[in-house]
Amino acid sequence: MTKPFVTPPLPYDYNALEPYIDEATMKVHHDKHHVAYTTKLNATLENHSDWFEKSPEEILMNLDQIPGDIRMQVRNFGGGHVNHAMFWEIMAPKAGGKPEAELSKAIEKDFGSYEKFQTEFENAANTQFGSGWAWLSFAKGKLIVEKTANQDSPLSLGHAPLLLLDVWEHAYYLKYKNMRQDYVKAFWNVVNWKAVLEKFLKIS
Ligand code: MN3
């Protein structure tokens, strides 16, 4: 018997990212939004349970093999499940600062400087029209900044995502209202660069 997917618990308290990301947002974001994506992904795959043998990441990498009648649901709910799990993981309390070691060197090589990378990433996050995500990904041997709509993942494009920022209104509206750019700036204070470096070392 294969088991359905499980929403991973937050790796820190709901209030751990204060004052940058508030407790009320974290509660509803993890316990309601993320849980709903996982639940809906499981319900969608209920009659296609061989897919539970794959990881949700592998599913997103192979969307073209998902039956056509459920492909859009799997893309949306699977993306929602995987993206949020990664989002919790690449943030941490008392974090921020700058990337280190090989990741720092790669950012300087591919963007010119850390500051240029930051500007490009903020620009992607601020200009994503409507709901979506901004990303730092590794694709074709180099780091790139990209943005996706809805819950689409760079995994489905064959890219390896390293860092992501949720720019759906549910991610910031309680605290930042219409000021998405303030939320995007505040995000740098909670980026867990050690976790991002670990991901980079695994795939580069
Ligand atoms: Mn979200």
CA of 84 to the centre of ligand 1 (A): 6
The string of pLDDT tens digits covering residues 116-159 is 999 999 999 999 999 999 999 999 999 999 999 999 999 999 99
| pLDDT the model gives residue 119 | 98
CATH number, domain with residue 85: 1.10.287.990
CA of 170 to the centre of ligand 1 (A): 6
Show which of 46, 65, 89 is a domain's final residue: 89
Q: Are 183 and 176 in contact (CB under 8 A)?
A: yes
Same-domain check for residues 38 and 78: yes
- What residues contact 129, with CB distance under 8 A and at least 6 apart? none
Neighbours of 106 (CB within 10 A): 19
Same-domain check for residues 112 and 196: yes
Of the pLDDT bands very low, low, confident and very high (cuts 50, 70, 90), residue 3 is confident
Dihedral of the alpha carbons of 62, 68, 71, 72, in degrees to the nearest 10:
140
The string of pLDDT tens digits covering residues 24-39 is 999 999 999 999 999 9
CA of 102 to the centre of ligand 1 (A): 29
Residue 95, domain member (yes or no): no
Q: Which one, of 202, 195, 198, 164, lies nearest residue 92 by Cα?
A: 195
Q: Which domain holds residue 43?
A: 23-89
Rounded CA-CA distance 111/73 in Å is 35
Where is the binding site, in residues? 29, 84, 166, 170
Global pTM reads 0.97
CATH number, domain with residue 166: 3.55.40.20
Residue 117, domain member (yes or no): yes
Overall domain count for the chain:
2
Same-domain check for residues 106 and 199: yes
CA of 115 to the centre of ligand 1 (A): 26
